């Protein structure tokens, strides 16, 4: 049997939206994919984080995440980081936009904000301090406590079942507003099933 089929789709996350329970299977145990057809200067997750001390594994509860992530993106401490996340749906073989998108003009201001989706899925699990550092200080190591990755449900409309991907784009701007030569793009692909109303 194709090894991919064994690995794919068994990583289950549960979350609630409008009372309905959906199951999301992340398609890749590694979580992140590179973006298709990137413009020049676009780096994938490895241009953002050194993941050599980071690991993921499946168990009955979902995808367990542990270890450290070290920043490698070559930008400057005062840079403004702009993050946009778009959710796309696979419609008869074509990725199409959905109403779900998120734009953070100044990510560093909200990186540790408990109301942000990235808090539950990432930054809320960083245990070492120095929270003024954001993601613009290369060499910074984020030490994560081991956790089961799950999505927060700030989703206010019912989801269609099927295959989704989240496209995440990060850009850095210096104090004059000039964009740095590199940007980060990665995607997370998963399947959504409704399992309970």
Ligand X SMILES: *[C@@H]1O[C@H](CO)[C@@H](O)[C@H](O)[C@H]1NC(C)=O
**Terminal alpha carbon distance of the chain:** 34
Provide, rounded to whole angstroms, the least separation between the CB of residue 192 and ligand X: 31
Q: Whose Cβ is closer to ligand X: residue 142's or residue 164's? A: 142
Q: Whose Cβ is closer to ligand X: residue 67's or residue 124's? A: 67
Provide, rounded to whole angstroms, the least separation between the CB of residue 145 and ligand X: 11
User: What is the number of the residue whose Cβ is closest to ligand X?
Assistant: 53
Provide, rounded to whole angstroms, the least separation between the CB of residue 67 and ligand X: 4
> What are the strands, taking DSSP E only, across 51-150?
54-59, 62-71, 80-91, 94-104, 141-149
Q: Whose Cβ is closer to ligand X: residue 67's or residue 138's? A: 67
Query: Would you say 41 and 181 are in contact if contact means Cβ atoms under 8 Å apart?
Result: yes
Query: Would you say 184 and 48 are in contact if contact means Cβ atoms under 8 Å apart?
Result: yes
Q: Is 53 in the site for ligand X (CB under 6 A)?
A: yes
* Residue 68: other Cβ atoms inside 10 A: 17
Q: How many whole angstroms separate alpha carbon 179 and alpha carbon 57?
A: 36
Nearest alpha carbon to residue 141 among 79, 80, 189, 69: 69
Provide, rounded to whole angstroms, the least separation between the CB of residue 128 and ligand X: 8
Q: Whose Cβ is closer to ligand X: residue 144's or residue 189's? A: 144
- The pattern of x and - marking residues 65 through 104 that bind ligand X according to CB under 6 A reads --xx------------------------------------
Provide, rounded to whole angstroms, the least separation between the CB of residue 143 and ligand X: 5
- Count the site residues for ligand X by CB under 6 A: 4
Classify strands 42-43 and 183-196 as parallel, antiparallel or unpaired.
parallel
Computed on alpha carbons and rounded to an integer, the radius of gyration of the chain in Å comes to 17
Positions that interact with ligand X (CB under 6 A): 53, 67-68, 143
């Amino acid at each position: 049997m194709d090894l991919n089929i064994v690995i794919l789709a068994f990583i289950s996350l549960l979350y609630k939206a409008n009372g309905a329970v959906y199951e999301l299977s992340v398609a890749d145990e590694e979580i992140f994919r590179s973006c298709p057809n990137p413009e020049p200067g676009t780096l994938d997750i490895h241009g953002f984080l050194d993941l050599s001390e980071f690991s993921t594994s499946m168990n009955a509860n979902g995808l367990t995440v542990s270890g450290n992530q070290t920043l490698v993106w070559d930008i400057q401490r005062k840079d403004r980081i702009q993050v946009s996340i778009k959710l796309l749906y696979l419609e008869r073989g074509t990725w199409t936009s959905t109403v779900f998108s998120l734009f953070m003009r100044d990510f560093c201001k909200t990186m540790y904000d408990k109301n942000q989706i990235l808090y539950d899925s990432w930054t809320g699990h960083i245990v070492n301090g120095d929270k003024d550092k954001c993601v613009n200080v290369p060499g910074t190591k984020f030490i994560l406590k081991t956790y089961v990755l799950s999505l927060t449900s700030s989703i206010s409309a019912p989801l269609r079942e099927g295959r989704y991907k989240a496209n995440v784009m990060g850009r850095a701007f210096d104090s004059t507003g000039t964009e740095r030569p590199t940007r980060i793009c990665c995607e997370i692909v998963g399947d959504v099933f409704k399992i309970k109303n």
